[in-house]
């Protein structure tokens, strides 16, 4: 499905801002999670600037859609999205990772707009499940008796993170309880901290695994906004199952000289900063 050209251009522009701001943050903090922040940047953009129902002026709005970034170390593009949306002033970026900062090395609920204090991988999907269940409690029902949830919950999960058993505990429970207002997005950038996912613990066949667990599955190019928006729209329509979007992404996407390198957590040198800012002009 093709969306309006203007919309796509807008979102691509926003994603570039997010990547640039993330680099500024990492420069201020001297180190950061370049690879995973960049691979998820387009998905984050689509969620905060198109799909999710939320209000930066009212972060506690009870019926807001929620995003839980379970791979919480990839915090910089999350912070950049929230800063760009107006949840907090962008001057906070300069304090990233410093004593007293709200912008810690792993996302925490102390940041306006952040729903989940992460850092211990494998847990965010359970948290997202809990929030999704809360949206259904006391909700009105349609003619068939299906609850009409008050809000939707999105959860970005890492591919390396999918090694954790707890991910699959949540996957089973979500399918069992037919939590169809829960959308998981796997940022499948093919790397984890110590190397390639296929060399550590091979996840293939990944879509089939989620399908076998009872989820509605989509597989997309995680950097193609038409595909991202289309998958998110389809996830709204399928009832009775939770949804997973397996997004094939590139670690460090956005700066060609970094792409496909496993810059998981790295110091940002002056050269790297210059290369990045040049690519993200």
- Token pair listed for 20: 């640039």
Interface with another protein includes 201 (CB under 8 A)? Answer: no
Least distance from another protein to the Cβ atom of residue 168, Å = 9
Closer Cβ to another protein, 173 or 266, answer by number: 173
Closer Cβ to another protein, 129 or 197, answer by number: 129
259: left (phi over 0), alpha (psi -120 to 50) or beta: beta
Interface with another protein includes 2 (CB under 8 A)? Answer: no
Q: Give the footprint of another protein on residues 110-129 (CB under 8 A).
A: 115-117, 119-120, 122-123, 126-129
Nearest CA among 204, 253, 270 for reference residue 18: 253
How many chain residues interact with another protein (CB under 8 A)?
Answer: 34
Among 10, 84, 169, 259, binds another protein (CB under 8 A): 169
Which DSSP symbol is given to 97? T
Which residues, in sequence order, are bridge partners of residue 217?
244
Task: Classify burial at 231, counting beta carbons within 10 Å of its beta carbon; exposed 0-12, middle 13-18, buried 19 or more.
Answer: buried
111 within 8 A of 120, measured Cβ to Cβ:
no
Q: Give the footprint of another protein on residues 22-81 (CB under 8 A).
A: 62, 66, 68
Q: Build a one-symbol-per-residue string for 125-164: x at contacts with another protein by CB under 8 A, - elsewhere.
A: -xxxxxxxxxxxxxx-------x-----------------
Which residues, in sequence order, are bridge partners of residue 238?
none
Place of tokens 């953009």: 45
Q: Return residues touching another protein (CB under 8 A).
A: 62, 66, 68, 108-109, 115-117, 119-120, 122-123, 126-139, 147, 165-166, 169-170, 172-173, 177
């Amino acid at each position: 499905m093709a969306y309006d050209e203007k919309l796509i251009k807008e979102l691509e522009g926003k994603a570039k801002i997010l990547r640039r701001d993330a680099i500024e943050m990492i420069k201020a903090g001297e180190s950061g999670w370049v690879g995973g922040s960049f691979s998820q940047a387009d998905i984050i953009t689509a969620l905060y600037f198109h799909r999710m129902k939320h209000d930066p002026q009212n972060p506690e709005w009870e019926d807001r859609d929620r995003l839980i970034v379970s791979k919480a170390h990839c915090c910089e593009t999350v912070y950049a999205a929230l800063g760009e949306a107006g949840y907090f002033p962008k001057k906070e970026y300069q304090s990233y990772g410093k004593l007293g900062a709200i912008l810690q090395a792993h996302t925490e609920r102390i940041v306006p707009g952040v729903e989940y204090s992460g850092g211990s991988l494998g847990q965010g999907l359970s948290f997202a499940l809990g929030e999704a269940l809360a949206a259904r409690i006391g909700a009105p029902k349609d003619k068939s008796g299906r609850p009409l949830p008050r809000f939707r919950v999105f959860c970005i999960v890492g591919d390396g993170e999918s090694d954790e058993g707890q991910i699959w505990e949540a996957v089973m429970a979500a399918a069992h309880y037919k939590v169809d207002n829960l959308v998981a997005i796997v940022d499948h950038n093919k790397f984890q901290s110590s190397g390639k996912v296929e060399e550590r613990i091979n996840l293939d066949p990944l879509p089939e695994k989620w399908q076998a667990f009872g989820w509605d599955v989509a597989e997309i190019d995680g950097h193609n906004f038409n595909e991202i928006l289309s998958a998110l729209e389809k996830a709204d329509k399928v009832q009775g199952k939770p949804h997973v979007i397996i997004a094939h992404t590139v670690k460090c996407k956005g700066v060609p000289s970094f792409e496909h390198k496993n810059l998981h957590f790295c110091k940002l040198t002056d050269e790297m900063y210059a290369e990045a800012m040049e690519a993200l002009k």
